[in-house]
């Protein structure tokens, strides 16, 4: 069993969902991002997503776009992403990269997969590559021992879900809604149905992202998903902070609150 699957198995043994936390590399600086991610792990994040800053982020909402733009303007490159992975991997938590396909293709598919493995990364989330286009990626990740995470959405038919899970070997990312990332007052009511349909097609863990930002929302999603993914809310703590140190502290505090959320019982959620 891989380190990623171990994290999900540990959470399941504790009768809870795994908490997955995201930040883009290079924000507020390369080291600042590493420090914040380590604080998140130390306060209850089980699995880490390191975002690869990209100039045309189709899924990213305004909060993440603001951070990504700042990272790009500061000169953040793929080697900085790999350095972030290596820095956070020292915690022992499984670290994945979240990236669009174009940067991987330009960098070199085999090169990207092998360098990520060397940095201690365990997988890659690719939101915009389809199973039909993934042959080269499947070969490269298999060779490097890197796990693949593909996405399903509320619009995915059962046939499409089956195709996605057939090429996924890490976990399945269930986008809770059609749209971009961002904090919301509630999580889509269709997320639970999407998880159920996905579980009918695979034994892989299914984690829900897009729109989860509060402990209460995390607790609700944790009742039906194997993982709860939080991104924009963590990014917001760094954007709003007066100093990088304050941002790191705030990210850690949010992680602790969300970690309590995924451990809440059904009665606590419905109270």
Neighbours of 89 (CB within 10 A): 18
Q: Which is the catalytic residue, given 60, 115, 147, 226?
A: 60
Q: Which is the catalytic residue, given 49, 80, 115, 226?
A: 49
Q: Which distant-in-sequence residues (6+ apart) come within 8 Å of 181 by Cβ?
A: 59, 60, 61, 63, 64, 209, 210, 231, 232
Instruction: Considering only residues 55 and 201, tell me which one the structure prediction assigns the higher pLDDT.
Output: 201
Q: Summarize pLDDT for 222-252 with one digit per residue, the tens.
A: 999 999 999 999 999 999 999 999 999 999 9
Mean pLDDT across 136-155: 96
According to the model, what pLDDT value does residue 178 have?
Answer: 41
Q: Summarize pLDDT for 159-212 with one digit per residue, the tens.
A: 999 999 999 999 999 997 544 444 444 455 688 999 999 999 999 999 999 878
According to the model, what pLDDT value does residue 179 have?
Answer: 42
Mean pLDDT across 132-158: 96
Alpha-carbon distances of 103 from 15, 114, 126, 189, 192, rounded to whole Å: 38, 15, 11, 33, 32
Classify domain 3-270 at the CATH topology level.
TIM Barrel (3.20.20)
Structure tokens at 81: 């992403």
Q: What residue spans define the domains of the chain? A: 3-270
Average pLDDT, the chain: 92
The reply to whether 49 belongs to the active site is yes
- pLDDT above 70: percentage of residues in the chain: 92
The reply to whether 203 belongs to the active site is no
The pTM for the full model equals 0.93
Please say if the pLDDT value at position 118 is more than 90.
Answer: yes
Please say if the pLDDT value at position 265 is more than 70.
Answer: no
């Amino acid at each position: 069993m891989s380190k990623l699957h171990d994290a999900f198995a540990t959470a399941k043994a504790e009768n809870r969902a795994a908490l997955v936390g995201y930040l883009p590399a290079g924000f507020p600086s390369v080291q600042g991002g590493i420090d914040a991610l380590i604080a998140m792990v130390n306060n209850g994040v089980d699995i880490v997503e390191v975002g690869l800053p990209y100039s045309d982020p189709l899924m990213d909402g305004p909060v993440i776009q603001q951070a990504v733009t700042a990272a790009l303007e500061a000169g953040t490159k793929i080697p900085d992403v790999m350095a972030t992975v290596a820095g956070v991997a020292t915690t022992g938590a499984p670290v994945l990269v979240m990236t669009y396909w174009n940067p991987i293709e330009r960098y070199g598919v085999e090169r990207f997969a092998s360098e990520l493995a060397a940095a201690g990364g365990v997988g890659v989330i690719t939101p915009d590559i389809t199973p039909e286009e993934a042959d080269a990626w499947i070969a490269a990740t298999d060779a490097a021992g890197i796990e693949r995470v593909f996405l399903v959405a509320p619009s995915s038919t059962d046939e499409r879900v089956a195709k996605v899970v057939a090429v996924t070997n890490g976990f399945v990312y269930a986008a809770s809604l059609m749209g971009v990332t961002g904090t919301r007052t509630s999580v889509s009511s269709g997320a639970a149905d999407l998880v159920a349909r996905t579980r009918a097609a695979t034994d892989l863990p299914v984690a829900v992202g897009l729109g989860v930002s509060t402990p209460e929302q995390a607790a609700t999603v944790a009742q039906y998903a194997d993982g709860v993914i939080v991104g924009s809310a963590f990014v917001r703590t760094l954007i709003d902070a007066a100093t990088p140190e304050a941002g790191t502290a705030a990210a850690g505090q949010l992680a602790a609150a969300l970690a309590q959320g995924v451990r809440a019982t059904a009665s606590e959620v419905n109270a």
